[in-house]
């Protein structure tokens, strides 16, 4: 037994020696390859490895303290700080912007509270793509996290997409919705764009400058500096004042988020938990009904779904909506409880021919004011054929709006032509047809206005009634043989297609 005990002890010591053997040459080589000197430049804040498989930690990394924390983030701010990965910009403009933000605590409070609805989703997307989490703070600079923001240059949404750039990144902009304001779609497009710019310039500061100023402008500025033998970093380039301040603003917000106590700032608590979840929509449904079924205010619904600009959601174009996390379950439960039937009280009508607003309203069975309000129709405009108008949905309409119309519907206008009753004198051999040709009118209209047949001829000097656009009525009078018509014939302007009988009734 004693011999067996000694043998067992010797075996254990041998195994322990194996377990503590130093690294092999291959492991040492691997550690050297992943040393901090070869890694991308990072900020002084502790980095975090985005969600994914953990990689071995090099000895040099462990010695320098740059080791990813495995503890759960205390809140979303903590999570954002751990993902900081851009080089810090050292510039006097950064200090200037820090003081500007720190001197406006109410503004910072409003911005950060507004961002609480959207930040978790943005951070999730950034980590999924392996991008620096500082980019989650970019909407503070672009729009103060207001998804309804519109710039003087017509950029829209919290990521401030111009119409053409939005189209390039497949952000739908039609009569029913503007995806530049959509939380999910605009975030996807913004991160796609930022990744594209980083791949072009290989530098996050230059990528951000291009996001604000345009990739072509940044490329030309770099080429000019290269030609003159100057540096090509962000601070070296000659750029507009707005772009010059762009990265310093982001750096200032980053510094405040990294250490709010140093700036006497208190960040509102944002839990490291999704604020919203997506809900599938299978039928066209009123916005008011969604809010009712979800148990939330309509304003709160629109804050999460700012791309909708009509009172109804078209399922063919927008098959998903966003609802607060807990309210999504309430909505689904209440929706399931409803019997199958019509969910929307609005539908879309494709206008068959160019017509006045009054004519369209009469056909739609609604007031002219309501039609103008719902479809944003400006005054003194005709609705062009093919326009997609939002109108009340009758019980007889069982089908939802088609996918083609939901994705491509637009409303187009042309100036409404104002006409004036005018008399002209017939020339020698003048007929209904020749007068119609002279003033580019329909012969049937000329015949109707003068109570004659379309084949009739006029005597020389005979007064002929025509209805001409106001800008043509003056020259017509000058061209007529006689002076201005009598007060009775020079009646008030009439709308397009007016006739004597209609004028009399008015």
Q: Which residues of 119-135 are buried (b: 16+ CB within 10 A; e: fewer)?
A: bbbbbbbbbeeebbbbb
Residue 463 CA: distances (Å) to CA of 6, 364, 426, 455, 482: 135, 41, 6, 17, 9
Alpha-carbon Rg for the chain in angstroms: 35
Q: Is 359 a catalytic residue?
A: no
C-alpha 316/C-alpha 173 separation (Å) is 15
Task: Give the residue ranges of DSSP H helices in 365-431.
Answer: 368-375, 403-408
Which of 258, 261, 256, 309 has the alpha carbon at shortest distance from 287?
A: 309
Which of 49, 89, 366, 338 has the alpha carbon at shortest distance from 205?
A: 89
The CA-based angle 91-96-102, given to 5 degrees, is: 130
C-alpha 95/C-alpha 214 separation (Å) is 26
DSSP symbol at 150: B
In this structure, are residues 416 and 495 in contact, taking their beta carbons and an 8 Å threshold?
Answer: yes
Burial class (CB in 10 A: 0-12, 13-18, 19+), 269: exposed
In degrees rounded to 5, what are phi and psi of residue 341? 170, -155
In this structure, are residues 447 and 453 in contact, taking their beta carbons and an 8 Å threshold?
Answer: yes
C-alpha 320/C-alpha 6 separation (Å) is 72
3-state secondary structure string across 11-56: HHHHHHHHHCCCCCHHHHHHHHHCCCCCCCCCCCCCCCCCCCCCCC
C-alpha 490/C-alpha 114 separation (Å) is 60
Which residues 6+ apart lie within 8 Å of 262 measured at CB? none
Tell me the two tokens of residue 28.
């040492």
C-alpha 494/C-alpha 496 separation (Å) is 7
- Please provide the size of the chain in residues: 506
C-alpha 119/C-alpha 126 separation (Å) is 11
The catalytic position among 98, 134, 142, 430 is: 142
Which residues 6+ apart lie within 8 Å of 364 measured at CB? 349, 371, 389, 391, 392
Using the structure block, give the residue that is written with the tokens 């043998």: 7
CA neighbours within 13 Å on the CB side: how many for 220? 6
Residues forming the active site: 142
């Amino acid at each position: 037994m004693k011999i067996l005990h000694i043998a067992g002890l010797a075996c254990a010591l041998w195994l322990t020696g194996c377990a503590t053997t130093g690294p092999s040459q291959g492991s040492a080589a691997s550690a050297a390859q992943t040393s901090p000197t070869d890694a991308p430049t990072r900020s002084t804040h502790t980095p975090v490895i985005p969600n994914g498989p953990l990689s071995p930690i090099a000895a040099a990394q462990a010695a320098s303290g740059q080791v990813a924390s495995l503890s759960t983030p205390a809140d979303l701010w903590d999570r954002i700080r751990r993902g900081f990965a851009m080089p810090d910009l050292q510039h006097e403009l950064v200090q200037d912007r820090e003081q500007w933000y720190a001197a406006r605590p109410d503004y910072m409070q409003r911005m950060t509270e507004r961002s609480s609805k959207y930040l978790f989703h943005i951070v999730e997307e950034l980590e999924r793509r392996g991008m620096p989490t500082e980019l989650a703070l970019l909407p503070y600079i672009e729009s103060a996290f207001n998804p309804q923001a519109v710039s003087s240059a017509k950029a829209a949404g919290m990521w401030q997409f111009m119409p053409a750039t939005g189209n390039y990144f497949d952000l739908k902009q039609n009569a029913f919705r503007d995806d530049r304001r959509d939380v999910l779609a605009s975030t996807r497009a913004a991160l796609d764009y930022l990744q594209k710019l980083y791949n072009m310039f290989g530098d996050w500061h230059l990528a951000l400058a291009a996001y604000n100023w345009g990739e072509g402008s940044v490329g030309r500025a770099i080429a000019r500096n290269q030609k003159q033998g100057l540096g090509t970093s962000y601070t070296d380039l000659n750029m507009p004042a707005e772009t010059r301040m762009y990265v310093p603003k982001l750096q200032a917000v980053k510094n405040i988020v990294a250490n709010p106590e140093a700036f006497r700032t208190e960040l509102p608590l944002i839990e490291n938990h999704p604020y919203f979840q997506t809900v599938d929509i299978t039928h066209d449904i009123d916005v008011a009904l969604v809010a009712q079924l979800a148990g939330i205010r309509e304003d709160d619904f629109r804050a999460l779904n700012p791309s909708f600009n009509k009172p109804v959601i078209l399922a063919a174009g927008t098959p998903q909506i966003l609802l607060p996390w807990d309210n999504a379950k309430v909505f689904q439960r209440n929706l399931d409880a409803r019997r199958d039937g019509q969910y929307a009280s609005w539908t879309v009508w494709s206008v068959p021919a160019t017509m006045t607003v009054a004519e369209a309203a009469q056909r739609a069975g609604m007031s002219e004011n309501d039609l103008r309000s719902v479809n944003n129709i400006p005054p003194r405009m005709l609705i062009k054929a093919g326009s997609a108008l939002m109108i009340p949905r009758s019980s007889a309409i069982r089908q939802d709006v088609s996918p083609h119309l939901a994705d491509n519907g637009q409303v187009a206008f042309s100036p409404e032509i104002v006409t004036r009753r005018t008399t002209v004198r017939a020339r020698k051999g003048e007929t209904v047809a020749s007068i119609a040709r002279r003033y580019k009118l329909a012969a049937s209209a000329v015949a109707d206005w003068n109570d004659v047949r379309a084949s009739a001829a006029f005597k020389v000097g005979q007064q002929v009634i025509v209805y001409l656009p106001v800008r043509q009525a003056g020259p017509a009078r000058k061209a007529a043989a006689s002076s201005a018509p009598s007060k009775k014939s020079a009646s008030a302007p009439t709308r397009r297609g007016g006739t004597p009988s209609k004028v009399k009734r008015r």
